[in-house]
Amino acid sequence: MKKHKTNKAWIHEHVTDPYVQRAKAEGWRSRAAFKLIELDEKEHLLKPGMTVVDLGAAPGSWSQYAVRRIQPGGSLLALDLLEMQALDGVTFVQGDFREQAVLEQFEAALGGRTVDLVLSDMAPNMSGIQMTDQARVMDLAELTLAFAADHLKAGGDMLVKVFQGAGYMELREAMRQIFEVILVRKPSASRGRSAETFLLGRKKRSTGMQ
């Protein structure tokens, strides 16, 4: 009974959500587009000619927005565990980012190119057990940071979704070793009750692997 009430409340919230309505009206694949749009407008993340990676891309609203902003001359590689409908100008790899074989396939798709911007809106399937979910979220964020350390060019940026909790401060400290500037952002389109926030690492340091 409680689960039924929770589902009903979520459906009501979703249907009446102004960002859901705007996404439908403007042709975005999900309301998540407005998170990236707001962050890009404030931080000027995306520019023509960039090579961009979008991790946790499905259903594709971030890729949908980003690929427009990096033209002409840009390229975008997207990855998700779930299937994603094709987008013009986007190379998509389906698989689990935590698996070495999938990571190698994704790196092969990069073809040796260094990356200007890593985007990650990845989140695990939630179990409802807070400690477990937090550990999974932070694991994905740490993998994103490792990927950025290996593939971002000097001066490049990384935007990653995290939940504040265990491991959060440790991740911020690890990011400080790689980026000159660390910013914390919670866009308006993030639901108020959600613990999600975004860490933005700017200007990857020139030391270390390139």
In this structure, is residue 20 part of a structural domain?
Answer: no
**Cα–Cα nearest to 45, from 142, 155, 122:** 155
Instruction: Please name the residues in contact with 132: beta carbons below 8 A apart, sequence gap of 6 or more.
Output: none
Q: Per the structure block, which two tokens stand in for 108?
A: 């092969």
- Alpha helices, H only, the chain: 2-16, 18-26, 33-43, 61-69, 100-110, 130-151, 168-176
Q: How far apart are CA 210 and CA 208, in angstroms?
A: 7
In a domain, 1, yes or no: no
Task: Indicate whether 15 belongs to any domain.
Answer: no
When pLDDT is averaged across residues 24-38 and rounded to a whole number, the result is 92
- Buried-exposed string 126-154: b where 16+ CB fall within 10 A, e elsewhere: eeeeeeebbebbbebbbbbbebbbebbee
Domain count, the chain: 1
Return the CATH number at 196: 3.40.50.150
**Which sign does the torsion angle of CA 164, 168, 46, 119 carry?**
negative
Catalytic residue (choose from 42, 153, 161, 204) = 161
Mean pLDDT of 139-150: 96
Distances (CA, A) of 24 to 34, 78, 122, 178: 12, 22, 22, 38
- Cis? peptide before 124, omega within 30° of 0: no
Residue 25 inside a domain? The answer is no
Residue 188 domain-assigned (yes or no): yes
87 domain residue, yes or no: yes
Q: Is 8 known to be catalytic?
A: no
pLDDT at residue 41 above 70? yes
Q: For 60-94, what is each residue's pLDDT tens digit?
A: 999 999 999 999 999 999 999 999 999 999 999 99
Domain span holding position 116? 30-204
**pLDDT (0 to 100) of residue 4:** 55
Q: Does residue 176 form part of some domain?
A: yes
In a domain, 164, yes or no: yes
Look at residue 191 in the predicted model and tell me its pLDDT: 66
